[in-house]
Structure 1
Amino acid sequence: MTPFLVEWGAPADRAALAVLAVHGRGQDPAFMQATAHRFATASARFFAPEAEDNTWYPLSFLEPVERNQPALDRSVQVLEASLARLAEAGFDGERVVLWGFSQGACLLSHLVLSAPRPLAGLVLFTGGYLGTAPPVPGGQALSGVPVVLRSIEDDPWVPRHRVDETAALLRQAGAQVDLRIDPGADHIITDEACATATELLNAAAARASG
């Protein structure tokens, strides 16, 4: 499987890092591209896959994992193939930031906790791990990985408790988690979330440039 990736940002041969941008349910790469304009960074090349019918899996992420199969496994395969594409373009794991919103953030949480790997960073806007039994990475599998995790207190789709639980699992795996949950009941990405993500991207770019 070789997914088509929408690309934008710094030219690949000059970018310090790559960002794999994963959209939410009912969205597409254009949403992530528009949101990326809220990031003040010039050192990243963005790559965005698109879910079939704009949905990575059919049911709520709170349902048992098996109820979202086989779509969930297919979507994980898309992410793995996308990361392989980035590696072929010269971006190894330590030069890759994973960024997702809503269903995309849930899918990335599932990927990272189920199959940890070296990363330059992780940005999760309003999401958490999938299923009823949390995946528990062995040891410090995400040691030192910076994570920005943002959500809204009364988000209609993603309950606060699942965001808190996901932050705890990431910390347990060694990640450095910056968690903030703002008041409200809207399914949105705040300006503060974008500003903090920008800080993570710029710091990751500086490390990659060495």
Structure 2
Amino acid sequence: MYTHRKQIVTAGLPAGEAKKAMIMVHGRGASAVSILTLKDHLQLDGYAIFAPQATEHSWYPYSFMAPVSNNQPALDSALEVISSLVKDIKQQGIAQENIYFLGFSQGACLTLEYVSRNAGKYGGVIAFTGGLIGEKLIDENYKGDFDQTTVLITTGDPDPHVPVSRVNETVSLLEKLNANVTKEIYKGRQHTISGAELDLANKLLE
């Protein structure tokens, strides 16, 4: 079973010149370079943008709804990559409340898992088609206070990978941790990111 090396692709301003940072987390089978193309559709002027690259293009091997143990050690290794990147960004002078996250599909699941295990005041969280990870959600895994951080979670109904029921459970848990959550469910939408979702993401970034 694989683990991840820290490989980060960057775009936007150098961290030393930026006031805000965006971490973009790619989905299964995709790449850091591919998720970075979203920057052309988002209002990220003035941001330093960071995209970690998963080993073998996958953050963990099985469905996010599998027992967590099945996805180890890849999952813990993936969470550590994000944690280490957040530390690096803070060391470069960008405060946590100015760090934003965006993920799609497997990347959205990993993003939600990281921020919910480390709840605090962030700039905002954009999860395109994702939910918290595990066969069942264990409340004790998730700690902290989002202090009304804005979180956008979207999905299709039905989505081949992400059940709406898990999205709803995720929203409840985030709200318990004091997040300000917007949830949008699109009937019959393909497993992709729509223009409407990008518009919502840009509202959050404003």
Q: With the length of structure 2 as denominator, give the TM-score of the two structures.
A: 0.91
Unaligned residue ranges in structure 2 (runs of 5+): none
Match for 2:97: what amino acid? E
2:42 aligned residue: 39
Q: Secondary structure at the match of 2:41?
A: coil
Q: Distance in 2 between matches of 1:74 and 1:59?
A: 15
2:202 aligned residue: 198
Contact 2:23 2:101 in 1 (8 A): yes
Q: CA RMSD in A?
A: 1.7
Q: Distance in 1 between matches of 2:136 and 2:118?
A: 15
Q: Distance in 2 between matches of 1:17 and 1:2?
A: 25
Pick from 9, 15, 23: which aligns with 1:12?
A: 15
| Displacement after TM superposition at 1:116 (Å) | 1.8
**1:96/1:135 CA distance change after superposition, 3 Å:** farther
Q: Secondary structure at the match of 2:64?
A: coil
Are 1:77 and 2:80 an aligned pair? Answer: yes
Unaligned residue ranges in structure 1 (runs of 5+): 203-210
Instruction: Please give the residue correspondences for 1:170-209 in structure 2 after superposition, counting only pairs within 5 Å.
Output: 170-202=174-206
Are 1:132 and 2:135 an aligned pair? Answer: yes
Percent identity of equivalent pairs: 33
Pick from 146, 166, 169: which aligns with 2:170?
A: 166
Pick from 92, 107, 110: which aligns with 2:110?
A: 107
Match for 2:175: what amino acid? R
Are 1:65 and 2:68 an aligned pair? Answer: yes
2:157 aligned residue: 153
What CA deviation, in whole Å up to 9, does each residue of 1:160-199 have, x standing for no partner? 1111111111111110001101111411101111111112
Contact 1:96 1:120 in 2 (8 A): yes
Q: Distance in 2 between matches of 1:100 and 1:135?
A: 22
Q: Distance in 2 between matches of 1:145 and 1:112?
A: 10
Are 1:141 and 2:149 an aligned pair? Answer: no
**1:124/1:94 CA distance change after superposition, 3 Å:** same
